[in-house]
């Protein structure tokens, strides 16, 4: 049985050994502190206008200490984008637990994503880094595609249950939802720093799910 290919949504967890020793825990905490500091700066200023020195200053560490955890600024960017995508499997699991049908689950997962875009600096930084990927000399996950396949699988289940309006195809609808979400959070970011991203997405989501629901 071939190993499932990791996708950008594959939970990215460094295995935490049971009873890992205090030194390892301290190192993991420092690593997270550096990542959060870099995410704040990448969100505020972008990749090109942030230096490793800026990150070190933001987290009140030396450059050497930052380099110990992340050898390059590109490594920081990759780690943040991977953490951005690592958020979604947990969100999906929590929403699936609520027991809504596939269409309701899709709508709620996207609403939870909108909330994360408002509140989570790792999600915000990951989105900005993806916009700046042409200027980042590193292998970043391909954007959007995993959301499309996740939503397509949910909409296919909805179609099988007769929940989709006739003529709506799961693949086209999934691509439209992802484009709409991307645009909505981008407009909110530019106009309000994402303060209104949840309300803005709700307006669009209401329209789109009304259009695709049987
Ligand atoms: C859910 C829509 C797609 C999502 O919106 C912003 C962004 C950042 O690149 C995304 C991604 O890469 O999947």
Per-residue model confidence as pLDDT tens digits over 101-154: 999 999 999 999 999 999 999 999 999 999 999 999 999 999 999 999 999 999
Beta bridge partner(s), residue 191: none
195 with 100: CB under 8 angstroms?
A: no
145 CA closest ligand 1 atom index: 13
Residues contacting ligand 1 via CB (< 6 Å):
113, 127, 130, 143-144, 147, 178, 181-182, 185
**Residue 205 C-alpha from the chain's centroid:** 18
Atom 11 of ligand 1, nearest CA residue: 144
Q: Is the ipTM of this complex over 0.90?
A: yes
Which residues make Cβ contacts (< 8 Å) with residue 24, sequence separation at least 6?
17
What's residue 1's pLDDT? 47
The rounded percent of the chain whose pLDDT value lies above 70 is 91
Rounded average pLDDT over 44-72: 98
CA-CA-CA-CA torsion sign (112, 117, 118, 121): positive
């Amino acid at each position: 049985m071939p190993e499932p290919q990791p996708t950008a949504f594959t939970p990215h967890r460094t295995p935490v050994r049971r009873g890992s020793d205090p030194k390892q825990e301290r190192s993991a905490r420092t690593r997270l502190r550096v990542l959060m500091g870099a995410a704040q700066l990448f969100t505020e200023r972008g990749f090109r206008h942030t230096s490793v020195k800026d990150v070190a200053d933001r987290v009140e560490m030396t450059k050497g200490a930052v380099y110990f955890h992340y050898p390059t600024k590109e490594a920081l960017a990759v780690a943040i984008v991977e953490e951005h995508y690592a958020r979604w499997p947990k969100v999906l699991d929590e929403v699936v637990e609520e027991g809504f049908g596939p269409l309701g689950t899709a709508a709620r997962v996207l609403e939870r994503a909108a909330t994360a875009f408002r509140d989570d600096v790792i999600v915000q930084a990951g989105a900005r880094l993806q916009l700046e990927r042409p200027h980042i000399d590193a292998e970043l996950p391909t954007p959007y595609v995993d959301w499309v396949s996740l939503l397509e699988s949910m909409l296919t289940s909805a179609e099988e249950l007769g929940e989709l309006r006739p003529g709506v195809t799961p693949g086209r609808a999934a691509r439209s939802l992802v484009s709409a979400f991307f645009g909505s959070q981008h407009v909110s970011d530019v106009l309000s720093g994402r303060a209104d991203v949840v309300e803005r997405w709700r307006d669009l989501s209401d329209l789109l799910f009304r259009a695709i629901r049987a």
